[in-house]
């Protein structure tokens, strides 16, 4: 019986210690949009930012193909928000981006196949459609960032900078 318990303990130990630690953001990346006017840094409120195809049609997240959230719904960005209490230093829900618009996507999201459509719900700014690139994604796990750091070209984890024009 001791031998069986020893073997079981050994196998359990090997299994436990052989596991690779995972990042809390495994399998998830973010698209982050910072929309502002020329010469200003404040993010514009009241925007609808949607993931669209080449025809400008909203993309439906069928069976969570592109995001682990919003299953079978259009992929619409949400505004990042402050989670700190009064009289505390400012903390954002998504701490890596501050005052921006966010969309959670899978790490396998094919960014180059899609666009973002920016519409002002107040009608002050002109609508824009911008094609996405792989470097537009916020890749949050260190192993993926290390891989990308060894490659050439634009880096990820920078917001998509959008300058809106008034109508």
Each domain of the chain, given as residue ranges in start order, spans 21-164
Measure the CA–CA gap between 135 and 42, rounded to whole angstroms. Answer: 23
C-beta contacts of 68-73 below 8 A and 24+ residues apart: 68/27, 68/28, 68/104, 68/106, 69/104
Measure the CA–CA gap between 9 and 6, rounded to whole angstroms. Answer: 5
Question: In this predicted model, what pLDDT tens digit does every residue of 3-47 receive, in sequence order?
Answer: 655 555 555 554 544 455 445 455 678 899 999 999 998 999 999
pLDDT at 6: 58
Measure the CA–CA gap between 32 and 75, rounded to whole angstroms. Answer: 13
> Which H helix or E strand runs over 102?
strand 101-106
Question: In this predicted model, what pLDDT tens digit does every residue of 58-108 receive, in sequence order?
Answer: 999 999 999 988 899 999 999 998 888 888 888 888 877 889 999 999 888
What's the distance, CA 16 to chain centroid?
A: 31
pLDDT at 74: 97
| Lowest mean pLDDT segment, chosen from 45-54, 90-99, 112-121, 123-132 | 90-99
């Amino acid at each position: 019986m001791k031998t069986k318990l020893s073997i079981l303990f050994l196998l359990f130990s090997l299994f436990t210690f052989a596991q690779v630690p995972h990042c809390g953001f495994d399998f998830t990346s973010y698209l982050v949009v910072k929309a502002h006017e020329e010469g200003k840094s404040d993010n514009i409120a009241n925007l609808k930012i949607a993931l669209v195809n080449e025809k400008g049609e909203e993309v439906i997240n069928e069976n969570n193909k592109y995001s682990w959230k919003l299953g079978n719904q259009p992929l619409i960005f949400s505004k990042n928000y402050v989670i700190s209490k009064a009289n505390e230093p400012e903390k954002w829900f998504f701490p890596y981006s501050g005052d921006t618009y966010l969309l959670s996507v899978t790490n396998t999201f094919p960014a180059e196949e899609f666009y973002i459509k920016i519409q002002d719900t107040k009608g002050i700014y002109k609508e824009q459609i911008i094609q996405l690139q792989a470097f537009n994604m916020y890749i949050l796990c260190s192993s993926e960032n290390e891989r990308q750091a060894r490659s050439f070209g634009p880096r990820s984890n920078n917001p998509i900078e959008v300058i809106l024009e008034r109508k």
